[in-house]
Chains A and B, each alone.
Chain A
Amino acid sequence: TPAKPQTVLSDVLLSRPRLHDLVREVDPSEQLDEEVEEILVSLADEFVENTVNAACLLAKHRKATTVEVKDVQLHLERNWNMWTPGFGTDELRP
């Protein structure tokens, strides 16, 4: 039996249409080369892997059995200086 298209795409985290939408959002006149798109797609992959790994280490450090939003958040804040509000862990911070 022929493979379903879904199984072919099963490990693709970021689709080209999504990437195009984002590019259009940033700058409607911007055009990306095919090679640049490829790099961005693999960069997204790498980012996800690194982030999940880092969150795992933080979760283990606080002796938890699973990863929570706060683990991801801590990593993003400390390593990427990325502040991500609206994920249920909002606290007033200085």
Chain B
Amino acid sequence: GTQIRSVKDELFLHAGPLHQKIKQILAKHGLDEPPNSDVAAMISHATQERLKDIIEKLAVISEHRQDMLKL
């Protein structure tokens, strides 16, 4: 048969270790491996958003701290 492949966006997290981790946790719960990598892609994306939010907050806090020093 013909295989259609598309170029996937590279994940934020390392795909190999991420899949491994997901597989491990699912097995612990007695669940099967997900049929595709959508779950991994979503978790990677969510992790990126989570960190982005924290880094944004850190930037604000650190700027505030610098301003205080100037007073």
Contacts and interface: CB of A to CB of B under 8 A. Distances in A.
Nearest to A52: B25
A67 B39 contact: yes
**Dominant secondary structure of chain B at its interface with chain A:** helix
Interface of A: 9-15, 18-19, 22-23, 25-27, 30, 32, 36, 40, 43-44, 47-49, 51-53, 55-57, 59-60, 64-69, 72-73, 76, 80, 82, 84, 87-88
Interface string B40-59: 01110111111110111011
A76 B12 CA distance: 17
B47 A56 contact: no
Contacts of A15: 14
A7 B54 CA distance: 30
